[in-house]
Each structure stands twice: as C-alpha cells, then as structure tokens.
Amino acid sequence: MPQKKRVLIVDDEPRIGRILGVKLGLLGYEPITVTSGAEALVAVQTQNPSVMLLDIVMPGMDGFQVLKRLRAFSGLPVIAFSARSENGPRALELGANDFLSKPFNVDDMVMRVKGILSDGS
C-alpha cells in the first residue's frame, strides 16, 4: 500500500487546521497541523511532508519568515494563504508555489494540493 502523502498545515488559528485536516484526511492524506512558524520548520525536518499550507499572518515568526528560512534548505511545495490578498505577490516572490486569499473554499485548497502533488510526485 503506498504511503499517504503528508500535508503540513500551518495556521495560528487551530480551527482552520482542524477543518483542512479533516477534509484532507477523508481524502486519504495524512494531515500534520502546527500553529507557529517555528513548529512548521521543525515539522518539515522531522515529519517529511509532501506539501505545506502556510498562513502568512501569524504572531512571532510570520509566513514570510518561514518561507525565507525554508527556502534556505528545502524546495518543499508551499501553498500560502492570508486574509490580506496583498500578501500574495510577496509570498510568491519568497518561494511559495501558490497563494489563496482567506476566507477560501476548502475544496479549492484541496484541488490546489492535489495539483501540486500530482505535478511533483
């Protein structure tokens, strides 16, 4: 049986992580949810995710800082998201593969995850 693809969900709002995690889990993915940028970088190194869903606006280390640090050691695909649509261009400049504005449709996010994972696997 093939190993489930792991999806790392990074959002300081636990509800978003739960909603995405349940939906992705039902579709056969293995969700990993964390609530901070620092936890996200540790999870990339220890959990071997296939893709990261990254909120940009978080306390402490924001998504921009996560992207800068991540790109120093990993080409992991990242779908960034933010309630501020103006964060999209900068996220893409810093190495995000895609960007969604909050609030987003969960099915739209899932389609983007599937698209990235089918391109890269």
Q: What is the pLDDT of residues 24-48, one digit of tens each?
A: 999 999 999 999 999 999 999 999 9
pLDDT band with cut points at 50, 70 and 90 for residue 119: low
Q: Which domain holds residue 84?
A: 6-120
Q: Is 39 helix (H, G, I), strand (E, B) or coil?
A: helix
Query: 113 pLDDT exceeds 50?
Result: yes
pLDDT band with cut points at 50, 70 and 90 for residue 3: confident
Question: b/e string for 48-68 if b means 16 or more Cβ within 10 A?
Answer: ebbbbbbbbbbeebbbbbbbe
pLDDT given for residue 1 in this prediction = 52
pLDDT in tens, 59-87: 999 999 999 999 999 999 999 999 999 99
Q: Is 80 helix (H, G, I), strand (E, B) or coil?
A: strand
Q: Any idea what the CATH number is for the domain that residue 25 is in?
A: 3.40.50.2300
Q: Does residue 60 sit within a domain? A: yes
- Angstrom distances, CA of residue 100 to CA of 42, 64, 72, 84, 108: 24, 15, 23, 10, 9
Q: Does residue 43 sit within a domain? A: yes
Contact indicator for 2, 88 with CB cutoff of 8 Å: no
Contact indicator for 55, 103 with CB cutoff of 8 Å: no
Query: 121 pLDDT exceeds 50?
Result: no
Q: Does residue 44 sit within a domain? A: yes
pLDDT given for residue 2 in this prediction = 61
Provide the whole-model pTM. 0.95
Number of domains in the chain: 1
Q: Does residue 110 sit within a domain? A: yes
Q: Does residue 21 sit within a domain? A: yes
Q: Does residue 1 sit within a domain? A: no
φ, ψ (nearest 5 deg) of residue 81: -150, 155
**Mean per-residue pLDDT over the chain, rounded:** 95
